[in-house]
Amino acid sequence: MNYTSCQHISFDFTGRFLPPVYILVFIIGVAANGWGLKSLLHNWKKLGNVNVFVLNLGLADILYLLTLPFLVVYYLMKSKWIFGDTFCKITRFCFNLNLYGSIGFLTCISVYRYLAIVHPMKVRGRIRVTHSVTISVMVWSIVGVLSLPDMFYPKYFGNNALKCYDTTDWNHINDYLNYSFGWTLIGFCIPLLITLGCYGHTVVVLCRTNTIDKVLKQRSLRLLFILVLLFSVCYIPYHVLKNLNLLARVLTKQGICREWFNGVYIARQISRSLVCLNSALNPLVYLHGNDEILSQLRQLPQRVRQMFSQLPSTHSSSVPMTQTSNDI
């Protein structure tokens, strides 16, 4: 049965739009996460409670970024997957690990920051690195278990044009919609509410209290801005449009056609590019808490100016004085 007969859907948009975005995210993400992880490992002995979550956040990003070259090839070949069924599912599984692992670790960072600012006396000396490691293992385990059912939905389908669905085929779309709703509730909505609650209360405390260090206030507000940016740009549009697009496919399968189907499909593809940006934006969390990286970034413009200021003097010193006088 042709489930796309309601109206023309611009499937070619995906092949034109996603590859350049994936290439850009891959380059920026690998460079930024590599730099951030190198800095964390260089200061391993100083690794604090929150930095354990930052380290895991970077590992989740690297895991997903390594799959992007294969997706670029897939879309450049007009959605023809040549790497087999198993690797198709592994690629989509890595995406879920990165997405919901990132959300989980950002939520942990939010809770720790909330406890450190709002309840400093209660948690001082009670939270250790071993606790952060244990929580990180729990996050990986929960995300892995909840992502596992996705591996059992058919994703590799087709005769001449083999597809690698990021959701599933038409025959299982009804069940997958229910699974997606559950995943959205547990993996996104609950962490979002926890994060908003923590930082909402934190902002109130920071605004009302004058005894908190000014630098700590700036760092906390900066981290709040980063988290709002990540959730607003990367996570919220993706989950809303993913479920809307799945609903459109279910309605199409039932023979119900709506004018908004095509617009939702295109918006859904744009949201897929936005959600993958989290792997390039997550390193902002490194910058927020790492004074060494911030210091290097501040010195970078000065180093560039020094480099260019030395070029003319070097050139002038290499030119004979008589030749310089003639040129004048």
156 forms bridges with which residues in the sheet?
164
Tokens for 64, please give them. Answer: 């997903």
At 21-30, the pLDDT tens digits run: 999 999 999 9
Instruction: Determine which of 46-50, 106-110, 188-192 has the lowest per-residue pLDDT on average.
Output: 46-50
Residues 6+ apart with CB under 8 A from 269: 13, 14, 17, 18
Ramachandran area for residue 158 (φ above 0: left; ψ -120 to 50: alpha; else beta): left
At 156-193, the pLDDT tens digits run: 776 655 889 899 988 899 999 999 999 999 999 999 99
197 with 168: CB under 8 angstroms? no
Whether 98 shows a pLDDT value over 90: the answer reads yes
Nearest to 102 by CA among 244, 284, 294, 287: 284
At 196-214, the pLDDT tens digits run: 898 888 888 887 877 667 7
Whether 299 shows a pLDDT value over 70: the answer reads no
Nearest to 129 by CA among 198, 53, 33: 53
Bridge pairing between strands 163-164 and 156-157: antiparallel
Average pLDDT over residues 74-94: 90
What is the percent of the chain where pLDDT is above 70?
80
Nearest to 66 by CA among 102, 22, 35: 22
CA angle 7–12–18, rounded 5-degree value = 130
140 with 101: CB under 8 angstroms? yes
pTM of this prediction exceeds 0.85: no
Tokens for 207, please give them. Answer: 């605004």
Rounded distance, CA 232 to CA 317, Å?
54
Domain ranges within the chain, ordered by starting residue: 12-292
CB count in 10 Å sphere of residue 37: 19
DSSP structure class, residue 161: S
162 with 156: CB under 8 angstroms? yes
Q: Exposed, middle or buried, 146 (CB in 10 Å: 0-12/13-18/19+)?
A: middle
Which class is domain 12-292?
Answer: mainly alpha
Give the burial string for 246-283 (b: 16+ CB within 10 Å, else e). bbbbbebeeeeeeeebbebbbbbbbbbbbbbbbbbbbb
Rounded distance, CA 108 to CA 133, Å?
11
At 121-135, the pLDDT tens digits run: 888 778 888 899 999
Mean pLDDT (the chain) is 82
Is the model more confident about 248 or about 301?
248
Rounded distance, CA 61 to CA 56, Å?
9
Rounded distance, CA 248 to CA 174, Å?
11
Whether 297 shows a pLDDT value over 80: the answer reads no
What local confidence, expressed as pLDDT, does residue 326 receive? 36
Rounded distance, CA 100 to CA 94, Å?
10
Residues 6+ apart with CB under 8 A from 30: 62, 65
Rounded distance, CA 4 to CA 257, Å?
10
DSSP structure class, residue 47: -
Is the model more confident about 5 or about 37?
37
